[in-house]
Amino acid sequence: MKKNINLVLAGIVLMGMVSCEQSTKEEAVVTTNTAVNTLEKPVKSILTAEEQADMSPAEIIGRLKKGNENFVNNNLTRRDHSAQRREAMLGQYPKAIVLSCVDSRVPVEDVFDLGIGDIFVARVAGNIENEDMVGSMEFATAVAGSKVVIVMGHTACGAVKSTIDQVDAASMEMNSLQSLLNKIQPSITGVETDGERSSKNVAFTNEVIEKNAIRTVKDIRETSPVMATMEDKGEIMIVSAVYDMETGKVTFHDHHDHNGSQMK
C-alpha cells in the first residue's frame, strides 16, 4: 500500500515538473514575441498633403482593408501619439471620412489601424445621412482633400433593431429619437425573410443593417451634387461597409454602379 502511495506521489511530482517546464517554454515564447513588438519603432509622423494627394481612392480603400486585417489579427501599429499630436497642430490631411454609428463598441480608428490625422470620423445612431453630416463630408472631400467617403454600419445595431421592433420613442417623449428611427424605417421595406420580422431574426436584421448603409450612400449622392460629380470624375469614392462586431472584420461594398455589389 505504501509503495502504491509513493508511486502516485512520484507521478504527481513528475507531472508538475513537465507542466512547469511547459509553462516556462510558453512564457519564453511570449517574452520573445513581446520583445519583437517592443523593438518596432512607433510611428511619429502623420499624413502629409503630398501623401494625401498621391493616393487614389482605390489605393486608400486597399490600405483601410489592410489596416482592418491588422485589427482582426490583434496586430495594431505602434504609434507615438504625443509626437503625432504635436505634428498635427501644423495641419490635417485625412485620407477618408467615415460615417459610423455612435455605438461605443465600434472604435473606428482602431478598426482600420489608424492614428491621429488619418481620417475624419462622423457619428450618429444608425449611421444615417442628414444635412449636417453631408455638410461635414463636403468639407472633408471638397475642402480638405479626403478621397473616400465610407458609411459603416455594424452588426447588432441598436437603432436598427429598435426600428425593426417598432419601438415607440415618441410615446416616451423622445421625439428626436423617433425622428431618427423614422429615417431608418425605409431600409426595412423590401427586405424579405421566411422567419420572424423582428430583431430576434439575426439574418433579417443584418440584411436591414446592410440595406440601411447602402441607402445612406444613395441619399448622400442625391443630397450633394458636388460629391456626386467628384465621384463621377473619379476624384472620390462613396461606399458603404458593415463592421462585424464578433469578428472585427469590415466588409466593403461598391455602389458606384448603384447595384450594391460587394467589393473584391
Q: What is the pLDDT of residues 144-197, one digit of tens each?
A: 999 999 999 999 999 999 999 999 999 999 999 999 999 999 999 989 998 999
**pLDDT attached to residue 94:** 96
Return the sign of the alpha-carbon dihedral for residues 161, 165, 171, 176. Answer: positive
Per the CB < 8 A criterion, the answer to whether 139 and 160 are in contact is no
Check: CB of residue 258 under 8 Å from CB of residue 249.
no
The answer to whether residues 154 and 106 touch, using CB atoms and an 8 Å cutoff, is yes
Measure CA 117 to chain center. 17
Domain residue ranges in the chain: 1-39, 49-262
Query: Which pLDDT score, from 0 to 100, does residue 81 have?
Result: 87
Q: Which of 37-41, 81-85, 202-206, 259-263 is modeled with the greatest confidence?
A: 202-206
Q: What is the pLDDT of residue 28?
A: 41
- Residue 121 pLDDT: 98
Using one digit for the tens of pLDDT, what is the confidence trace for 6-21? Answer: 443 344 333 343 344 4
Q: What is the pLDDT of residue 190?
A: 84
Compute the average pLDDT of residues 56-74: 97
The overall average pLDDT reported for the chain is 85
pTM of the model: 0.81
CATH fit for domain 49-262, picks 2.40.37.10, 3.30.2130.10, 3.60.10.10, 3.40.1050.10? 3.40.1050.10
Q: Which of 28-37, 104-113, 204-213 has the lowest mean pLDDT?
A: 28-37
Confidence (pLDDT) at 254: 67
pLDDT of residue 11: 44
